[in-house]
Structure 1
Amino acid sequence: MATRREDLLDAAITVLGERGIHALTHRAVDTTAGLPAGSTSNHFRTRDALLDAVVVRFAARERAAWEDLARRASPTTPQELAQVLAAAAKEATGTLRTLTLARYAILVEAGLHPSLRAQLSATGSGVNAWFLQWLRLAGSTDPERDAPIIMNHYTGLVLHDLAIPDPAFDPAGQITALVTTVIRPRSVEVPP
């Protein structure tokens, strides 16, 4: 069961994902959470304190989504990895749309507030570790090189569909072409 603090932070994520960073106020969070005025400011005295806590809560929710995906999938080929990423992209722009929009709002804000950058880096390290492991399992011989190429493209595909929603959004073709091109097959040693 969520605590009052978590309810407030989830409401803040909803405000971010539905109305953007400029709409994030204590009053907007109180209203979205259905709580009396002043509830948010009792927990987070300043907007910066609220935003810092939102980053931590957002990262926990996103990490939980990735953990759920990791429990359901363990890609062992580039094609399987591409299928998992395509499904994740559809989920990010569908059922997790508000959370994903909040992430992009936070990323833009991090460009202006270095303290958020440090928090995002720290909280994203777990997702990065899983993705590097997936790349290794899928056959990547250089996961540190391959990860940013694939994930930056993935991020762009998701951002584009969030900005200009396409009811027929299907990133599978692009992601498959990219992943199967980037992940170089392991060389097979031929015995002499």
Structure 2
Amino acid sequence: MDRRTDIADAALTLVARDGMRALTHRAIDSALGYPAGSTSYYFRTKSDLLAAVAAHLVELSRASFVSIAVSESDVATVVAQYLHDALTHRLVELEARYALMLDPAVAQDVRAVLARSLFSLERARVLFDDPEHGDGLVSLCEGLVADVVFGRRISNDVAALRFPIAVYLEGVEVKSRVPGQNG
């Protein structure tokens, strides 16, 4: 990994563990064992750092989705596996995302990127003839994630996540191809 990626990962961990107030250039330098001023060299301001963290979350989410979509063609299963991966292997990212999205000190443009970091409305809309159905799928998935993160839904196994997604997809006409797959 390069230093920018290391810094973004450390920022995610700090925010998830200790909240937005703990996110300082000095705290990241300390967490990574970098010399003082290293984080400031790469990201001059906290706003620059937050923009990098948001962009990093988008990259991580897309990479996760693509790696799952390559091996599976059933849309409900792909989405459920993606959610399961996020809720089991990427929980720090989700916790940091929520903390940053809810903090009024985070600029609106960064919060907008964070809002799109887990699910791509554009790709979801590709599944349907009516874009509102793609919006609905994203809202459903956001709700499923929030239910698990905030403790309302206990089970985050693939089958439990797949059920409401499959029910939704059965209620609307879905195209046969998963967004992000080649071909």
TM-score range, shorter chain: 0.7 to 0.9
Q: Alignment RMSD, CA only?
A: 2.8
Q: Highest CA radius of gyration, 1 or 2?
A: 1
- Deviation at residue 94 of structure 1 after TM alignment: 0.4
Contact 1:55 / 1:106 at 8 angstroms: preserved in 2? no
Q: Which residue of 1 aligns with 2:12?
A: 13
Residue 90 of structure 1: CA displacement? 1.2
1:148 partner letter? D
Q: Mean Cα displacement is larger for which, 42-51 or 153-162?
A: 42-51
2:179 aligned partner = none
Deviation string, structure 1 residues 126-157 (Cα, Å, up to 9, x no partner):
93333333x2xxxx332x01011111111011
Give the equivalent residue in structure 2 for 1:89: 83
Q: What is the number of equivalent residue pairs in this alignment?
A: 171
Shift of 1:176: 2.1
Structure 1 residue runs without a partner (length 5+): 75-79, 187-192
Query: Could you tell me which residue of structure 1 aligns to residue 98 of structure 2?
Result: 104
Give the deviation of 1:87 after TM superposition.
1.4
Residue by residue, what CA displacement relative to the aligned partner does 1:60-105 show, whole Å, maximum 9, x if unpaired? Answer: 222222222232233xxxxx32222221111111011112222223
TM-score normalised to the size of structure 2?
A: 0.77
**SS state of the match for residue 73, structure 1?**
coil
Shift of residue 184, structure 1, vs aligned partner: 3.3
8 Å CA contact retained: 1:111, 1:117: no
1:164 aligns with 2:151: yes
Q: Larger deviation: 110-119 or 37-46?
A: 110-119
- 1:8-59 CA-to-partner distances (Å, cap 9, x unmatched) read 1111122223333222111221232232333212222221221122112222
Aligned to 2:133: 146
Residues of 1 paired with 2:105 and 2:41: CA distance? 28
TM-score, length basis structure 1: 0.74
Quick check: 1:180 aligned with 2:173? no
Which sections of structure 2, spanning at least 5 residues, go unmatched?
176-183
Matched with 2:125 is 132
